[in-house]
């Protein structure tokens, strides 16, 4: 994670890149034609730019999107740059447990490897709302949906890493907003209560959950060929 000063100034970190670096700069010269990646929410925003640049570096990109119309448009944007780019779209609504399971079934049925999972999709500051599963919307979409998705794909990722000898990567988009959450951090006892709900704090809570989960999963994956990384999104620099 980059510190707030570096985030704002764009000052490069130890890698030589910072928040002012573009995806094209960071991946310059990389031939990733042996890699397959899933990007959630890859039909718009930071996710689309991520999908576009990975495809530019020859990654086989699978966009998970709830809106298939915008996903088709995103695919066209990528194919417009290179008609041979490998891009597939699959329906994925992260706020539905059912949809996450169906997405994974559909992906597994493709018999593709999986090297990279980018947990990017997110909703921000929405009014109190419960999902079909009865869970508060921001926590369900930003954290729980990705939690389930990651767990369901983990065996596939381990298998790919083993077979190809290439380390896997799981990337979650968190936010500096993780510091602005409820007093108790995560409201484990009343995640789904409308009482005391704050759209901002619920967003911060979901982004804090992303980080906590990244840290724990990363601890559990020690010694396995998959790395966890967390990032703070920064739309201003996405281009």
Ligand X SMILES: NC(=O)c1ccc[n+]([C@@H]2O[C@H](COP(=O)([O-])OP(=O)(O)OC[C@H]3O[C@@H](n4cnc5c(N)ncnc54)[C@H](OP(=O)(O)O)[C@@H]3O)[C@@H](O)[C@H]2O)c1
Enumerate binding residues for ligand X (CB under 6 A).
40-41, 43-47, 65-67, 70, 92-95, 120-124, 141, 173, 175, 232-235
DSSP state letters, 126-159 = PPS-B-TTS-BHHIIIIIIHHHHHHHHHHHHHHH
Q: Which residues lie near ligand NAG (CB under 6 A)?
A: 31, 33-34, 58, 82, 84-86, 119, 143, 146-147, 150-151, 170, 172, 174, 210-211, 213-214, 217, 230
Q: Which does 143 bind (CB under 5 to 8 A by kind): ligand NAG, ligand X, none?
A: ligand NAG
Pick the closer one to ligand X by CB: 85 or 144: 144
Pick the closer one to ligand NAG by CB: 19 or 36: 36
- Measured CA to CA, the distance from residue 116 to residue 238 in angstroms comes to 19
Active site (catalytic) residues: 197
Pick the closer one to ligand NAG by CB: 20 or 186: 186
Contacts of 28 (CB under 8 A, 6+ apart): none
Contacts of 179 (CB under 8 A, 6+ apart): 204, 208
Q: Which does 67 bind (CB under 5 to 8 A by kind): ligand NAG, ligand X, none?
A: ligand X
CB of 162 to ligand X, least distance (A): 29
Contacts of 105 (CB under 8 A, 6+ apart): none
DSSP 44: S
């Amino acid at each position: 994670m980059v510190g707030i000063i570096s985030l704002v100034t764009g000052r490069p970190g130890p890698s030589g890149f910072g928040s002012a670096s573009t995806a094209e700069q960071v991946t310059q010269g990389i031939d990733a034609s042996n890699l397959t990646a899933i990007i959630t929410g890859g039909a718009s925003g930071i996710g689309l730019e991520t999908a576009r640049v990975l495809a530019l570096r020859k990654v086989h990109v699978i966009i998970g999107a709830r809106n298939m119309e915008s996903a088709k448009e995103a695919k066209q944007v990528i194919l417009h740059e290179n008609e041979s780019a490998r891009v597939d779209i699959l329906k994925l609504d992260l706020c539905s447990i059912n949809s996450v399971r169906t997405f994974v079934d559909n992906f597994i049925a493709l018999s593709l490897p999986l090297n990279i999972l980018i947990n990017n999709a997110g909703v921000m500051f929405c009014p109190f709302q419960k999902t079909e599963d009865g869970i508060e919307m921001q926590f369900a979409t930003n954290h729980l949906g990705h939690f389930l998705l990651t767990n369901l794909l983990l065996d596939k990722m381990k298998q790919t890493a083993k077979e190809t000898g290439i380390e896997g990567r799981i990337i979650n988009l968190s936010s500096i907003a993780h510091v602005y959450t409820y007093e108790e951090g995560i409201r484990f006892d009343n995640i789904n209560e409308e009482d005391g709900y704050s759209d901002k704090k619920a967003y911060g809570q979901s982004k804090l959950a992303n980080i906590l989960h990244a840290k724990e999963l990363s601890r559990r994956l020690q010694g396995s060929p998959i790395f966890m990384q967390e990032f703070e999104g920064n739309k201003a620099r996405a281009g």
